[in-house]
Structure 1
Amino acid sequence: MAAATCVRFLLQSPTRGFIFSPRAVAASSSPFLSRAHRLGPGDDEIYERTRVSIMQKEPDSGVMIHSYSSRGFNIDGNKVLGPCAVLPPAILQWKVGGYEDITEESVSLFHMLEPKIEILVIGTGARLERIKPSVLALLRSKGIAVEVQDTPNACATFNFLTSERRLAAAGLIPPPVSTALEVTHE
């Protein structure tokens, strides 16, 4: 009713006579411009159901880390012993003993890849450890974002990034045996 009153006001102006605005005429004649009207199958010209056709299935989402232990990792069914470098096309042994051994030379394989990776996730073991600032500066100068985390969180972050189809790589050090959650049977 407010729309009809507004239309009458626009169409009858006391000073100029009748004003025929295309917008006012369309608003008075079209029930579809009302907020209360919902489209239904009876509104054939405007109503149409959305259809989705899958032309081709997406390829595999990439490498996924399924589990880790103090000895290594299970990556897509492949058991990898010790530290490893997970790259978009391959899984390699990474020759580092601990986070202290991560140097400019040990990360050189990550910035020599083609196509260039967007982000490198580094897992430092059971705890988050500091990486040498020169290593981080080198990777950032090559245009690679770096995320340093403890290994359990680094595995989860890497899986998330690859599921989003990001060009990510990971350098992972297995966490040592933990006695914090030891279960004893009596």
Structure 2
Amino acid sequence: MLASVVHGLRRPLAPRATRVPVLRKLYTSPVWRADERWQQLTNILADDNPPPVQVKSMSDAGIELADGQLIPGACIFIDGKIFLWDVPPTQWRGWSEERFEMFEIIVPRPEILLLGTGKAATLPPASLRQYLSRLGIQLDVMDSWSACTTYNLLAEEGRRVAAALLPFRPRPWKKQPTIEESTPCGKTS
């Protein structure tokens, strides 16, 4: 009996190197449940809480976020939040450590601060770089668009990153009057 089975398999085998592996077809289909709708593909490497602030583009009008909002002036992105940043209109003239004081109180501090300096990268004064270094923050200086794209990438990776961004065209923030400034003698009506 064994001889007849072996006799049927008497064709010569190809050398090992030229054998073609058997390809198996793999069929997949979405799992449908009566109470759920099919979900679109998601990034499996992303964190459960992706950063809510993502930059889409940058122009003379300001920084456009992925959700369509436009920020016309200087701002700081940190921990998924946006802070308006009051800076002097002339780059580095009149700047002091107080422009970066918020990084003293943030816990945990960012490991990297991306400083976007407008259309071109210009180094800040050495005193500001040393101040941030004493706080344990690595400073990377680049043009604002590069800072935005680098921020998007590092924030998506889950890194502790902040971006301090100057617009292409400097615009001062309009300050809202306080209650004391808007009503005479600080009285409300």
Judge same fold: TM > 0.5, yes or no: yes
Q: 1:73 — aligned with what? A: 63
Flag the 1:123–1:98 CA change in 2: closer, same or farther, 3 A: farther
Name the residue aligned to 1:108.
101
SS for the counterpart of 1:106 is: helix
TM-score by length of 2: 0.59
Instruction: In structure 1, list runs of 5 or more residues that go unmatched.
Output: 1-35, 37-56, 178-186
Structure 2 residues without counterparts, runs of 5 or longer: 1-16, 18-45, 171-189
Which residue number in structure 1 is paired with residue 147 of structure 2? 154
- Name the larger-Rg structure: 1
Q: CA deviation at 1:81?
A: 1.7
**Are residue 127 (structure 1) and residue 120 (structure 2) matched?**
yes
2:49 is the counterpart of 1:60: yes
Q: CA–CA distance in 2 between the matches of 1:85 and 1:102?
A: 16
Q: What residue is the counterpart of 2:83 in the other structure?
A: 92
Quote the offset at 1:98 in angstroms: 4.5
Percent of aligned pairs sharing the same letter: 30
Shift of 1:124: 0.4
Spell out, residue by residue over 1:107-162, the C-alpha distance to the aligned partner (whole angstroms, 9 max, x if none).
11123211211110000011111201111101111111110101111111111111
Separation in 1, partners of 2:78, 2:66: 13
- The aligned length equals 128
In structure 2, C-alpha distance between the alignment counterparts of 1:118 and 1:157, rounded to whole Å:
14
Displaced runs of 4 or more, over 3 A: none
TM-score (norm 1): 0.60
Tell me, yes or no, if structure 1 residue 167 matches structure 2 residue 167: no
CA RMSD of aligned residues (A): 2.8
Give me the whole-angstrom Cα distance separating, in 1, the residues matched to 2:62 and 2:71.
5
CA distance in 2 between counterparts of 1:60 and 1:169 reads 17
**In structure 1, the residue corresponding to 2:129 is in which secondary structure?**
helix
1:165 match: secondary structure: coil
Aligned equivalent of 1:48: none
1:110 to 1:82, Cα distance in 2 relative to 1, 3 A = same
Q: Once the 2 structures are TM-superposed, how far is the Cα of residue 61 of structure 1 from its aligned partner?
A: 2.3
